[in-house]
Amino acid sequence: MAKKATKSFILRVDSDTMDAIEKWAADEFRSTNGQLQWIITEALRKARRLPKKKKTEPDNQADDNVSD
């Protein structure tokens, strides 16, 4: 599976919020960065803001079962 390209940016977060994120990340056995990515992805998913996944073509298994 190919990895997605990532972009870096600076995020300023107050210390109380950062402490809560770090504790949550530790509780979930994630890095702080991984926890922030999960939080953002979940918020985007719930808001239906994530791009739709491309559908792959189904296998033509029905054609294989046709007898001549």
What is the structure's pLDDT at 64? Answer: 57
| 4, 6, 42, 44 from 1: Cα distances, Å | 9, 15, 22, 23
Rounded to whole angstroms, the Cα distance separating 22 from 36 reads 9
pLDDT reported for residue 8: 94
Q: Give the pLDDT of residue 59.
A: 63
- Please state at what angle helix 15-27 crosses helix 32-46, rounded to 10 degrees: 90
Is 21 within 8 Å of 32 (Cβ atoms)? yes
Model pLDDT, residue 13: 97
| pLDDT per residue as tens, the chain (68 positions) | 677 899 999 999 999 999 999 999 999 999 999 999 999 999 999 999 998 877 776 666 555 555 55
Q: Provide the residue ranges of all domains of the chain, joining segments of one domain with +.
A: 15-51
Q: What is the pLDDT of residue 60?
A: 61
